[in-house]
Structure 1
Amino acid sequence: MTNGKPALLEEHPASISLAQSVARLQGLEAGLLYPSTLHLFWDLFQSLGRRPVAVFIDREAYPIAGWGAKWLNGQRIPVMTFSHGDHRGLKGRIKASGRMPVIITDGWCTHCESVMPIRQYLEILSPHKGLLVMDDTQALGILGQGPTPDLPYGRGGGGTLRWLGLQAENVIIGSSLAKGFGTPLAVLAGSHPRIAKVKKDSLTRQHCSPPDHASVMAGHRALLINQKYGHRCRERLLSNVQFFRSKLGPYGILDSNTTFPLQKLGGMPGPLAQQLQLELDKAGIRIFLVAGAREQVHPAFLIRADHRFEDLAHACRITSRHLNCLNHY
């Protein structure tokens, strides 16, 4: 499972090659493998903290990246939030900071169910030689290059940059493999110089255990499956999402028109959402609850490629029945 040595002393060649493979899949030069995104972002931000930077965090960004960035506050480095996706308001704040700007954002936002304005962020950062830090966990393995109306996920599963058709030197991506690839690992990817700098400054690679070998082998297998059968899996996933939407759509209870596998119902009071979650759990259907605006809560379903149509139809029947019983819709 492990040789008991931190990655700084000895890193298994399979770990190195897995990180490189994920980086190339995302269209980037180099990668580092971590046990989790928490390890990853801790290393990244303690490395960035050695420079005079100003950090700007989207207030809706996934919390783990923000936890890493908040360590910088103790180093007297300014860490500020900005309104969700507000690239226009961010431009002036970056110029006024007088430091190298670092923007932290997700690639795909589960709140607004869309890709964030990555292109605009990169344009804002370019004159200041700034850095975009992106958590692309949601999109990796799902989105890829060349999306079309018939194939909205695109091809390859390389994530947000691939989906947008972007190439950039001033971006670094942290992604968990646990969502799209079902493997409890994370990869930090970027240019050769940036990844080499993080590797040199790393504390977790010095003091923490490296990823276990079983997980590394599972990661390699996941990438092999993606290479051979990923397109077929994503076609099946899209078909499942469309089927799910066709069953619940007529009730007018879906939150948006997205075909992303995270499907949310419209917002409702928290107690009502919790009651629906409880009733679905009794029927063997696991959902989760997503906080929305104005204290509303969205029951959410995560659709997978291996779901059967009959499973999805059953979930939709139970959902519509209980919502009718609860007199919400």
Structure 2
Amino acid sequence: MSTAMAGTPGAADFTSALFLGQRHPSAVVPPWTELTTGVPAVLRELPAATELAWAVAAQQHAGSGLVARSALHGMMDILQVLPQPGDLLLVDAGAYPLTQWACRAAAARGVRVVTFPHFRPPAVVPQTRTWLVTDGWCQGCGRSAPLGAMQTLVGKTGGRVVVDDSLAFGVLGQRAAEASFGDGSGAVRWQGLKHDGVVWLGSLAKAYGTPVTVITGDRPTITRLARHGGNRLHSSPPSAADLGAGLSAVRDSRMPRLRDRLWRLTRWLRQAFGNLGLPPLGLPFPIVGTRLDSLQLARRWRSMLVARGVQVLVQLPRCQPGALLSAVVRADHPQADLDRLVRGLAALTQDRRAA
């Protein structure tokens, strides 16, 4: 969906999705006595795996949680274990490609898989158990899935909403005030909803900077996944380094301050985009993008910004045509980097108006 220029020393880099600036240098990662257990997770997990899963589940007021090696590992287990032959699996057409792959694997087991238009689920479903799979947040259109309507739709059938919230996790969450991103617990609580009827997963590889995924849901569902998930039986579990870094990040007392700074920088940059005649897409989120007339123009502008020492993204949304020129904001961005980006964009817009 996106491309970025190779790193340039000294450049202002707006291509990294480490939204909260978490990098976990080896000197500060908690030490470990074994990097991995040497056995599948279904047989034995490191204590930090349980601690991390429960920390995330508790923040969401979900029933239970467990860890997975990645979002793909987690989604494959969810869709191989929970939907049964004859069930209906509805998948959002704009869902991340990894999710689409997992849905196709479910179809091979006799699960009926049907795609619906992006964030527009059907008004009614057949009287059969129905599962609905969606991303929590779409960077292509800058909005969150209508999770409340989805919960209502499939809840009557005994199914669940399966949410890949890897983009929003750590950024969006329950809000004490509208003018904030919230507590980082995810898009469900950002919408003011409970996790009832939701099987949720989120990778920590973006906001929290470590490649491990957490799955949450009601206790019977999580127990079933823990016992029967194929990747938990056949794949190596997350390493001690990943778990330790993730647990340190979610427990870090600085996170609220980092999210507050991220909010302020994001709002400032969105306002600057608007002042330049480049309307920012969607709702406030640390990926600040604007639609350009063509892919060629977006690529040309990116190249011209790189020449000015600024790295940005060209994105091709799955959910709509056209190209976006986007800057990914991080909590550790100095204001000088944002100023440098805006000066570069100002020069480009002036050249376009002159032409």
User: What is the TM-score when the length of structure 1 is the normalising length?
Assistant: 0.91
Q: Which amino acid aligns with 1:286?
A: Q
Where does residue 291 of structure 2 map in the other structure?
266
2:340 to 295, 311, 314: 314
Counterpart CA distance in 1 for 2:212 and 2:94 is 23
Deviations, residues 226-252 of structure 1 (Å, cap 9, x unaligned): xx1222111111111122123322111
1:295 to partner: Cα distance: 4.1
Counterpart CA distance in 2 for 1:81 and 1:147 is 35
- Other structure's SS at 1:266 match: strand
Where does residue 91 of structure 1 map in the other structure?
123
Where does residue 183 of structure 1 map in the other structure?
210
Is 2:220 the partner of 1:170? no
Q: 1:21-32 to 2 correspondence within 5 Å?
A: 21-32=55-66
Counterpart CA distance in 2 for 1:301 and 1:295 is 19
Deviations, residues 172-203 of structure 1 (Å, cap 9, x unaligned): 00111111211111111111100111112111
Counterpart CA distance in 2 for 1:294 and 1:37 is 24
Counterpart CA distance in 1 for 2:139 and 2:345 is 21
Where does residue 192 of structure 1 map in the other structure?
219
Where does residue 37 of structure 1 map in the other structure?
71
Q: 1:256-295 to 2 correspondence within 5 Å?
A: 256=281, 258-292=283-317, 295=321
- Other structure's SS at 1:165 match: coil
Where does residue 10 of structure 1 map in the other structure?
44
Deviations, residues 95-137 of structure 1 (Å, cap 9, x unaligned): 2xx4210011111221221221111111112221121000111
Larger helix fraction of residues: 1
1:45 to partner: Cα distance: 0.9
Stretches of structure 1 that go unaligned for 5 or more consecutive residues are none
1:6 to partner: Cα distance: 1.6
2:325 to 274, 299, 309: 299
Q: Which amino acid aligns with 2:116?
A: F
Higher alpha-carbon deviation: 163-172 or 8-17: 163-172
RMSD: 2.0
User: What is the TM-score when the length of structure 2 is the normalising length?
Assistant: 0.85
Q: Which amino acid aligns with 2:123?
A: K
Select the structure with the greater relative contact order (CA < 8 A; seq sep ≥ 6).
Answer: 2
Counterpart CA distance in 2 for 1:221 and 1:179 is 15
Where does residue 29 of structure 2 map in the other structure?
none
- Other structure's SS at 1:145 match: coil
1:294 to partner: Cα distance: 6.8
Percent identical across equivalent pairs? 29
- Other structure's SS at 1:187 match: strand
Q: Which amino acid aligns with 1:113?
A: G
Is 2:184 the partner of 1:153? no
1:51 to partner: Cα distance: 4.8
Where does residue 139 of structure 2 map in the other structure?
110
Q: Conserved in 1, the CA contact under 8 Å of 2:310 and 2:340?
A: no
Q: Conserved in 2, the CA contact under 8 Å of 1:58 and 1:81?
A: yes
Stretches of structure 2 that go unaligned for 5 or more consecutive residues are 1-34
Counterpart CA distance in 2 for 1:100 and 1:289 is 40
Q: Conserved in 1, the CA contact under 8 Å of 2:61 and 2:195?
A: no
Q: Conserved in 2, the CA contact under 8 Å of 1:54 and 1:101?
A: yes
Counterpart CA distance in 1 for 2:316 and 2:350 is 22
The 1:294–1:100 alpha-carbon spacing in structure 2 relative to 1, beyond 3 Å, is: closer
